[in-house]
Amino acid sequence: MTAEELQSLIAAGLPCQHLQVEGDGRHWYATIVSPEFEGKRPIARHQRVYATLGQRMQTDEVHALSMKTFTPAEWAASQS
């Protein structure tokens, strides 16, 4: 799997205002900004992203995914 493929999978299942994926083909790091994260704790945000990947996490197609998740307001504050 490529970074572009993983990014497309996440974007297809989650509306993102910003999405960046990097990695080596097994270990991935993503920065994800979505209005769907409003009012959710970090674990619920991560579960929402994992849900977009479905079986790919369980079949080891995506071995490891570390992520930072932000609401649009949190992202804007972090960029200033």
Q: Is the pTM of this model over 0.85?
A: yes
Domain extent listing, the chain: 3-78
Q: What is the pLDDT of residues 37-65, one digit of tens each?
A: 999 999 999 999 999 998 888 887 888 89
Q: For domain 3-78, give the CATH superfamily.
A: BolA-like (3.30.300.90)
Report the alpha-carbon angle 70-76-79, nearest 5: 100
Q: What pLDDT shows up at residue 73?
A: 96
CA distances from 71 to 15, 45, 57 (A): 11, 10, 24
